[in-house]
């Protein structure tokens, strides 16, 4: 019986290569749901079982991890909530055709063979494929093909020796993805919302909002760059003095170095130098000579590939990995993402070398290498790293250069091939000589090296060794130096980090993996945190330095590698099975949330650091109170949190982050000087968590029986706060002449409409806009309130950007739908508040002096109740003041109601 088998590769090119090898080039192709991912079909036998093979591919990850809709908008929640907000994996819209292809093919198949890359990331993608295929056929027999190169030997061997996929590898990637998402999103929102509008960043585009991103690997990488830069800035140059001695003869020159090295005391150096000048006769007291060896490098892994390409060719790590991936997919080198730096004993190394014999440049060396008479072959050394998935990087196919290769392809293929030939070669051999002399009691030494056998250095042109010789010396020989000088020098700071240095530091401290290091480095450049010069050396920008300095003066070493290195070790433990996914997530997120909360409480220090480098912007500071000021979930829209805000006029309020779509707000007493959300939770209010607020009132503006410092609740249970609102009034809306609604005195009756001297609202006049209740446009400016002149909307008022810099537009909401602070706060108001409410709820006069009635487009009638000012349906059912007066729904206002024109 023939078994139908669905085969899935990670890329379309890999699917084609596997199909060509297994079918011998006889496969047929047809289209799938995705135009980029074809399906190849052919017959093949696996361990004696005849199979009908269908081979298709994905394009990297099929699924994305993201927060639930409730938490995706930046202002929808306190960033601290992201550490425990629900997340989900889903197939994005651009991958839906791939999902349909897999589901349709899986229904017709009995086996599923996964040809994904054989690393942790590939295993995670494999389980995404499994989840999708199982959704349409839960009875699939699932197998994993393990291979390291797209060559006949590896592919046929993988097909005949199938294994089961490793769920632990997939779990380790799930842990990394969730940790990175939660930490990255929380700190990125914190930094961007706190600083983005507060400072002038000259490199930010005018049309694009600057994102100050934070990544758990990206930031420690930036820390390395900044730390080296600070070392250079802190360096204090210091002069030193040294004595140099030179001797020339017919056999050559010898440069002798002072054994003391150098002295920082000029007087002492001058005195010693004068002693040597007075008695310049040099006596040779020791001559040593011995054979020395320079060993070839270990087999090539990903980290070394990136470091050497940067050092030899000044090629960026990102470009190195891009070119290496293309060479791998074309079948010229083995899999380029590997930690392994030794070859197993059963690896056929000589066959790899034999393929290179025909090369025009190093073919002659490869031929001598394989000749046993030359004794040039040597089993490569063991570098001590093994990822148990792939061998070291090596050439898999001979090439003298392809037509579609760029210069980078040629150079990288040359590096991989020469490195392989070098690592299977004998070390270079030389004879080193050292001569020591005495001048007036001071010792000097000179060394020389003569290479006797170059061996691997013949093919590995990237390294050199020795080449300098000295004359022959004998013990007891005396001579007068040809030159004896006292030279001054200056200490130099360490150089900026090169890309090779940066990769070495990341590798040593466990930041990122061999496959992701280049991505973290690229992000530093993309985010304007660092720049790279022509010598591939990195220096931080002002922004990068300011962010690191901000966290540094907070006392947190978030820019140091320790936290991330610990997480990487934990993820490795998950892949090894010594720790569980849940255990690592819980411990890592708990620790990072504590760091985040503390950093948030010390955000003023971040402002201090930024002020060293950037000018403050002229944008309103009111919106800078968003971070960590969450009080409760909004009960009106249920889509966002209510946060503590300070308006430009100094008044405090608790408002919904979904403004202007939701205008739910609680205004706080005018006498408030400072306010901050505490960690205390009110035990009486709900639904959900309601945090209590630390209040500090202005002394002299509240009655003497009240304390100036108080912790209260805005959920409705706090009688003290109710009394202070009644006594002091709130910052709801300003009146003409600058008087506030809710202030004590006769002006309490003047609320949301202009009044004549008798206190009766004028029917055709509107309140003047005030910053305390201003509508802000997309560019954070106070909007202009204009009146429409079109035939269909004549007389309606709307908000537009005052400078026409953005396309913000919003119809004015009738003032009756705005609840004042006292209305929103569940309390029995005093006389002033009752008078205010009566005037707010008075029906607006129509043409005949009668109260006008609202009409719905469907013919239903709604009117404001005489005693409460609320909208009701014709049946008498009340409509919420925060709902649409056309249809009664709370999800929108009347100006955007879908039933408006029906």
Q: What angle do CA 670, 671, 672 make, to 5 degrees?
A: 90
CA dist 87 and 15 (Å) reads 32
Measure CA of the first residue to CA of the last residue in the chain; give whole Å.
64
> Catalytic residue among 335, 413, 460, 799, which?
335
Q: DSSP labels for 373-404?
A: GGT-B-PPP--S---SS---B-B-S--S--TT
CA dist 551 and 336 (Å) reads 36
- Which among 18, 64, 62 is positioned nearest to 42, based on CA atoms? 18
CA dist 728 and 667 (Å) reads 12
Q: Tell me which residue has tokens 């590698």.
A: 561
Please give the sequence-ordered ranges of beta strands (E in DSSP) within 228-330, or none if there are none.
239-249, 252-258, 282-294
CA dist 245 and 442 (Å) reads 11
- Which among 501, 421, 434, 420 is positioned nearest to 466, based on CA atoms? 434
- Which among 710, 639, 634 is positioned nearest to 672, based on CA atoms? 710
In the sheet that holds 861-864, the strands lie side by side as 854-855, 861-864, 871-872, 878-879
Bridge partner residues of 111 (DSSP): 5, 141
Max CA pair span of the chain = 128
Q: Which residues contact 742 (CB under 8 A, 6 or more apart)?
A: 667, 670, 725, 729, 730, 731, 732, 748, 820, 821, 822, 832, 833, 836
State how far the alpha carbon of 634 is from the alpha carbons of 625, 654, 824, 843, in Å: 17, 10, 12, 29
Is residue 247 among the annotated active site residues? no
Q: Do 88 and 72 meet the contact criterion of CB atoms below 8 Å apart?
A: no
Tell me the pairing of strands 483-490 and 478-479: unpaired
- Which among 873, 773, 851 is positioned nearest to 813, based on CA atoms? 773
Per DSSP, 672 falls in state: E
Task: Count Cβ atoms below 10 Å from residue 872 Cβ, excluding itself.
Answer: 16
CA dist 149 and 156 (Å) reads 11
For 161, the token pair is: 């020796």
Show which residues are catalytic.
335
């Amino acid at each position: 019986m023939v078994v139908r088998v669905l085969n899935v590769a990670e890329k379309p090119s890999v699917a084609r290569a596997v199909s060509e090898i297994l079918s011998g080039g006889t496969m047929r192709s047809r289209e799938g749901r995705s135009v980029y991912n074809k399906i190849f079909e052919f017959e093949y036998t696996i361990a004696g079982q005849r199979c009908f093979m269908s081979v298709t591919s994905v394009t990297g990850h099929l699924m994305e991890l993201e927060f639930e809709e409730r938490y995706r908008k930046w202002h929808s929640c306190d960033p601290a909530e992201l550490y425990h907000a629900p997340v989900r994996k889903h197939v994005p819209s651009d991958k839906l055709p791939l999902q349909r292809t897999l589901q349709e093919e899986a229904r017709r198949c009995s086996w599923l063979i996964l040809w994904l890359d054989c690393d942790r990331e590939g295993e995670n993608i494999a389980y995404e494929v499994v989840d999708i295929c199982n959704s349409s056929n839960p009875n699939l027999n699932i197998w994993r093909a393990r291979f390291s190169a797209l060559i006949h030997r590896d592919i046929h061997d993988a097909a005949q020796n199938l294994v089961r996929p490793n769920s632990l590898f997939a779990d380790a990637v799930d842990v990394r993805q969730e940790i990175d998402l939660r930490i990255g999103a929380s700190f990125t929102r914190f930094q961007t919302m706190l600083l983005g509008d507060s400072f002038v960043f000259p490199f930010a585009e005018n049309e694009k909002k600057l994102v100050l991103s934070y990544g758990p690997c990206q930031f420690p990488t930036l820390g390395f760059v900044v730390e080296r830069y600070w070392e250079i800035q802190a360096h204090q140059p210091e002069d030193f003095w040294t004595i140099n001695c030179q001797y020339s003869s017919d056999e050559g020159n010898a440069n002798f170095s002072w054994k003391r090295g150098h002295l920082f005391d000029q007087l002492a150096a001058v005195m010693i130098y004068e002693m040597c000048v007075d008695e310049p006769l040099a006596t040779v007291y020791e001559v040593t000579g011995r054979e020395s060896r320079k060993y070839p490098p270990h087999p090539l892994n990903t980290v070394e590939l990136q470091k050497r390409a940067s050092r030899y060719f000044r090629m960026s790590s990102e470009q190195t990995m891009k070119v290496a991936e293309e060479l791998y997919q074309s079948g010229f080198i083995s899999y380029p993402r590997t930690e392994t730096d030794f070859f197993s004993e059963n690896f056929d190394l000589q066959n790899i070398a034999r393929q290179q014999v025909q090369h025009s440049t190093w073919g002659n060396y490869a031929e001598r290498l394989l000749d046993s008479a030359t004794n040039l072959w040597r089993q490569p050394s063991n570098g001590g790293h093994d990822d148990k998935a792939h061998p070291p990087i090596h050439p898999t196919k001979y090439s003298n250069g392809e037509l579609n290769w760029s210069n980078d392809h040629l150079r990288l293929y040359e590096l991989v091939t020469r490195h392989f030939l070098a690592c299977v070669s004998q070390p270079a051999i030389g004879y080193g000589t050292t001569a020591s002399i005495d001048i007036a009691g001071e010792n000097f030494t000179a060394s020389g090296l003569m290479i006797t056998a170059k061996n691997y250095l013949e093919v590995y042109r990237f390294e050199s060794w020795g080449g300098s010789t000295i004359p022959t010396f004998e013990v007891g020989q005396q001579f007068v130096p040809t030159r004896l000088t006292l030279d001054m020098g200056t200490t130099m700071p360490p150089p900026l980090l090169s890309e090779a240095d940066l990769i070495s530091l990341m590798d040593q401290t466990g930041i990122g993996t061999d496959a992701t290091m280049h991505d973290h480095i690229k992000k530093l450049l993309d985010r304007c945190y660092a720049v790279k010069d022509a010598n591939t050396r990195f220096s931080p920008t002002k922004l990068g330095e300011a962010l690191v300095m901000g966290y540094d003066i907070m006392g947190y070493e978030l820019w140091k590698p320790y936290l991330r290195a610990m997480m990487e070790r934990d993820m490795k433990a998950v892949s090894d099975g010594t720790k569980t996914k849940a255990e690592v997530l819980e411990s890592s997120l708990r620790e990072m949330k504590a760091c985040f909360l503390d950093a948030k409480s010390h955000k003023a220090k971040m402002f201090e650091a930024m002020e060293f480098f950037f000018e403050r912007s002229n944008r309103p500071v009111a919106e800078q109170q968003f971070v960590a000021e969450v009080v409760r979930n909004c009960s009106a829209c249920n889509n966002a949190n209510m946060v503590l805000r300070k308006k430009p006029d100094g008044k405090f309020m608790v408002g919904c982050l979904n403004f202007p779509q939701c205008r739910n707000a609680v205004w706080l007493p005018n006498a408030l000087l400072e306010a901050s959300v505490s960690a205390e939770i009110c035990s009486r209010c709900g639904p959900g968590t309601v945090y209590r607020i630390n209040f500090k009132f202005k002394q002299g503006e509240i009655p003497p029986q009240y304390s100036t410092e108080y912790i209260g609740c805005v959920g409705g249970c706090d009688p003290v706060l109710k009394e202070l609102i009644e006594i002091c009034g709130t910052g709801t809306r300003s009146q003409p002449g600058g008087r506030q609604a809710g202030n004590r005195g006769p002006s309490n009756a003047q609320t949301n409409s202009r009044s004549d001297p008798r206190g009766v609202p004028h029917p055709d006049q509107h309140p003047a806009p005030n910053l305390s209740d201003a509508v802000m446009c997309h560019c954070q400016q106070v909007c202009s309130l204009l009146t429409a002149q079109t035939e269909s909307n004549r007389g309606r008022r709307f908000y537009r950007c005052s400078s026409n810099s953005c396309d913000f537009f919003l119809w004015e909401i009738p003032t009756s739908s705005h609840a004042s602070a006292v209305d929103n706060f569940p309390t029995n108001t005093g006389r002033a508040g009752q008078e205010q409410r009566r005037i707010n709820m008075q029906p607006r006069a129509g043409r005949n002096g009668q109260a006008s009635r609202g009409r719905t487009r469907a013919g239903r009638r709604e009117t404001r109740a005489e005693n409460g000012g609320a909208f009701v349906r014709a049946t008498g059912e009340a409509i919420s003041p925060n709902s649409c007066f056309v249809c009664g729904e709370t999800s929108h206002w009347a100006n955007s109601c879908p039933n408006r024109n029906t």
